[in-house]
């Protein structure tokens, strides 16, 4: 497929460009969005203009309706941004069953983009997209239920998102799921810390705060076998990736326990560079220049 893309891209005549757009049309029948398909192409702006030009000549086609909607939402191909018009084109496309447009219609209803916010309608459209296999829809259904305050439903869909197996599901759903588990404590309900730590474990490869929190599980033995060495490995690597929580932990470790003021000040400086700070009551009355 990559070779076919490049052959079309190198050809300057209009027939070749329409052939490229038709190839995108076929690809769009799968799970990829148009933006994902063209992201590795040079001259993306020119390609989008070509696609938009094709789309306005084939306005009854669901994928072309989607491309027009994307253009109005993001200002592609020199189109003036108009969220309401974008929504109307997504709706036409979604009504024909295009998965990505169903997902984006859910997004519009969830965020109030081009239409009045309606979480129930957002869930309806996300459900349709999820049924067709959209990899992000399950997470967004979970988030929508969390907005509504239906935490048990949110947990159900976050778990389905993680089980779905996509990196998106691992990263986006694992941390909200952990927070909802922990929220049970505030309601006087028991918390399954092993499940919480498993969420951190799923997210830690991409989320440095999750890596820090997993370290806490190992340090305390709460939800994971106690392993101090592993905990500090996680703290150090989370700090290297700019987890402010991990940096704070390391600051007090070096400042109070190890008495290594040089390293402590380096860490404190990094916290300041990230726009964060230590809690005032933990500064022990000291002031530092960042």
> Which CATH number belongs to the domain containing residue 230 in this structure?
1.25.40.10
Quote the Cα angle for 212-213-219, to 5°: 90
Q: Indicate whether 170 belongs to any domain.
A: no
Q: Indicate whether 59 belongs to any domain.
A: yes
Please tell me whether residues 108 and 7 are part of one structural domain. yes
- What integer is the mean pLDDT of 108-127? 97
Q: Indicate whether 226 belongs to any domain.
A: yes
CA atoms of 156 and 158, how far apart (whole Å): 6
Q: Indicate whether 186 belongs to any domain.
A: no
Categorize the per-residue pLDDT at 135 as very low, low, confident or very high, splitting at 50, 70 and 90: confident
Q: Is the pLDDT of residue 81 over 90?
A: yes
Better pLDDT: 22 or 186: 186
CA atoms of 151 and 141, how far apart (whole Å): 12
Q: How many helices (H) and strands (E) does the chain have?
A: 17, 0
CA atoms of 60 and 249, how far apart (whole Å): 58
Q: Indicate whether 140 belongs to any domain.
A: no
Domain boundary among the residues 96, 117, 134 is at 134
Please tell me whether residues 86 and 198 are part of one structural domain. no
Quote the Cα angle for 79-84-88, to 5°: 95
Q: What is the pTM of this model?
A: 0.78
- What integer is the mean pLDDT of 38-50? 69
Domain boundary among the residues 134, 160, 181 is at 134
As a whole number, the mean pLDDT across the chain is: 83
User: In 3D, which of 108, 109, 121, 69 has the Cα closest to residue 90?
Assistant: 69
Q: Indicate whether 162 belongs to any domain.
A: no
pLDDT tens, 232-288?
Answer: 999 999 999 999 999 999 999 999 999 999 999 999 999 999 988 876 444 443 443
Give the structural domain span for 208.
Answer: 192-290
The domain tally of the chain equals 2
């Amino acid at each position: 497929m990559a070779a076919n893309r490049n052959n079309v891209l190198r050809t300057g005549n209009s027939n070749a460009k329409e052939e490229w757009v038709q190839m995108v049309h076929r690809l769009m029948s799968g799970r990829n969005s148009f933006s994902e398909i063209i992201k590795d192409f040079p001259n993306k702006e020119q390609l989008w203009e070509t696609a938009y030009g094709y789309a306005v000549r084939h306005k009854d086609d669901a994928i072309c309706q989607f491309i027009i909607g994307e253009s109005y939402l993001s200002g592609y191909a020199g189109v003036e941004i108009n969220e309401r018009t974008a929504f109307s084109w997504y709706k036409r496309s979604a009504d024909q069953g295009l998965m990505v447009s169903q997902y984006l219609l859910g997004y519009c209803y969830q965020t109030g983009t081009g239409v009045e916010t309606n979480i129930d309608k957002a869930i309806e459209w996300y459900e349709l997209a999820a049924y067709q296999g959209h990899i992000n829809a399950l997470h967004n259904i979970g988030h929508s239920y969390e907005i509504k305050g239906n935490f048990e439903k949110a947990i159900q869909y976050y778990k389905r998102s993680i089980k779905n197996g996509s990196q998106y599901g691992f990263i986006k759903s694992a941390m909200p799921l952990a927070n909802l588990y922990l929220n049970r404590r505030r309601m006087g309900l028991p918390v399954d810390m092993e499940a919480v730590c498993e969420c951190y474990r799923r997210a830690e490869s991409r989320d440095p705060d999750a890596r820090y929190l997993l370290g806490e599980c190992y340090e305390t033995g709460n939800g994971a076998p106690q392993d101090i060495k592993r905990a500090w490995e996680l703290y150090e690597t989370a700090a290297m990736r700019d987890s402010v929580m991990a940096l704070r932990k390391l600051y007090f470790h070096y400042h109070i326990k190890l008495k290594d003021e040089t390293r402590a000040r380096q860490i404190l400086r990094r916290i300041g560079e990230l726009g964060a700070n230590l809690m005032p009551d933990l500064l022990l009355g000291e002031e530092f220049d960042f």
